[in-house]
Amino acid sequence: MTEDEPENLSETFERVPSTAAERVVEGRPSRAEIIDYWVDRFGVPKDTFDGATFWEKGGGRIWVLNYELSGPISIEALGLPILRTRQEFWKPTTDAVRRFGAEATENVIHLEEPAARAFLAGEKQELPWDGDWGYLIVTHDIAGAADPIGVGRYTYGTLQSMLPKGRRREFEEGEGISK
Amino acid sequence: MDSLRRYESIVPDFSAFLEALTKPLPTTVRVNTIRATPERVKAAFEDEGIRVERRERIPTLLEVGTDKPGNTWPHVHGWIHGQEEVSTIPPRVLDPDPGGVVWEAAAAPGGKATQLAALMNDSGLVIANDDNLGRLSALRSNADRLGVSSMAVTNQDARNFSFDPLGIEAVDHALVDAPCTCEGTLRKNPDALSDAGAGASRNISSVQRDILIRAIKATRPGGKVVYSTCTFAPEENEAVVDAALEATETNVVDFESPLPAEPGVETWEGESYDPAVQKTKRYYPHQTDTGGFYVAKLEVAE
């Protein structure tokens, strides 16, 4: 990369381009690619992100804001972090699958309560799964319906909890006992 | 409690007031309506064997039979936020519409800012500012867990806040939940009065006034500004509103309150304020079974 080429500014939020054809910063995903990822991989409704804008801060950290601003913007946070895109496989964030994953229909693995609690504690567990490997939305039943807990990575018969340390929980005896 | 004695002339049934301050607060959570309904949260708690009661006056507030609501599935899922009943009043009084732009001047740790986002259906922009970077990280963590996608987080001194980084000229509404002496939080914080007193209140009031004036100037004509504190001192409440009325083109407007309240005081220790401060409201623990609070609703002149 030469000095004249635009690059990511680690402290600044910059709008992503609408499509790959309008890309200026190398490696930056487009709005269309981000929406396609959620729709193709997880089957969320196509209108999930209508009216929202997407932003990159630092290499590959994508944020969604349900408001129209033009930027670039240098502030502490802008919207919700939803995706990391600068590895081979894009990875959705825990908070994003909780926020946008409730209506997902693809690559969703549903856990019974003991497995859900092990996942919440950050554990890796052996589980059957006949779908795609890679990042899955992990759900369990709460108040009579499925809701996402977070992201798991499924490979070779095991589901690794991707919950960040600060989001892991181990309920004490007598707490968090879902029937 | 000695520092509260000076309020005997303005607080009705003063002995009941003092007695109420010695009782612990009920544990309450606000339902995050971005993610769940009160009915569903209630069912989830009951599945965990935790007793839940709806607080009748505020439909999105639940009283829960655990002192650790953070260690439950509804919390993990971002369905709830631990919040005191009376502290849900200022965002409700502001009542922003979805799609609008709201500035919260002193927003950390984010209970009211995330409530504003929920009231706006997570659509629009809540500019959540705080001058304390450590408290801002708690705000960001709360906003992310609650799934808020309509918030911009800034770290500035609210008194001379600049909207330039966002490219915004004026906001629709503003909330100033001001830094204060926190006398009203005695029921949850037994040390709340350690730094309180008339001198402390006078010292902090100039900061409160400057933040409120900045908020009024940042708000478009016809927009609303809600000013609140969790303290009883008129120096930090009616006196601040009075100073802002003097310095800006603003009107105090009446509002419906879901909790019982007393009108703002027009005179205090030899000072007299703009009579319009009687439209502001004082919340007393013995009348509300909450902490203490003060709320004023202002409208920027057209």
- For residue B98, is pLDDT > 90? yes
**What is each CA distance from B143 to A162, B82, B95, in whole angstroms?**
20, 13, 19
Phi, psi of A100, deg, nearest 5? -115, -5
Q: What is the pLDDT averaged over residues B183-212?
A: 91
Preferred mutation among B149, B154, B156 to probe A, highest tally of A CBs within 10 A: B149
pLDDT at A173: 57
**Which chain B residues are closer than 8 Å to A77 by Cβ?**
140, 143, 151-153
Exactly one of B52, B178, B196, B230 is catalytic; name it.
Answer: B230
pLDDT at position A7, please? 66
What is chain A's alpha carbon radius of gyration, rounded to the nearest angstrom? 18
pLDDT of residue A26: 86
More confident residue, B138 or A20: B138
Lowest mean pLDDT among A32-41, B17-26, B116-125: B17-26
Interacting residues of B57 by C-beta distance below 8 A, sequence separation 6+: B85, B258, B259
* Amino acid A6: pLDDT: 65
Q: For helices B238-247 and B198-218, what crossing angle results, to 10°?
A: 40
Q: What is the DSSP letter of A22?
A: G
Residues A92-129: tens digit of each pLDDT: 999 999 999 999 999 999 999 999 999 999 999 999 99
Q: In this structure, what token pair is assigned to residue B51? A: 């007793």
Q: From residue A11, give the alpha-carbon distance in Å to each of A26, A72, A74, A93.
A: 17, 10, 6, 20
Angstroms from A127 CA to nearest CA on chain B: 22
- pLDDT tens for B103-138 read 999 999 999 999 999 999 999 999 999 999 999 999
User: Could you report the predicted ipTM of this complex, rounded to two decimals?
Assistant: 0.94
Q: How far is B59 from chain A (nearest CA, A)?
A: 19
If DSSP codes are grouped into helix, strand and coil, which group holds residue B267?
strand
| pLDDT of B5 above 80 | yes
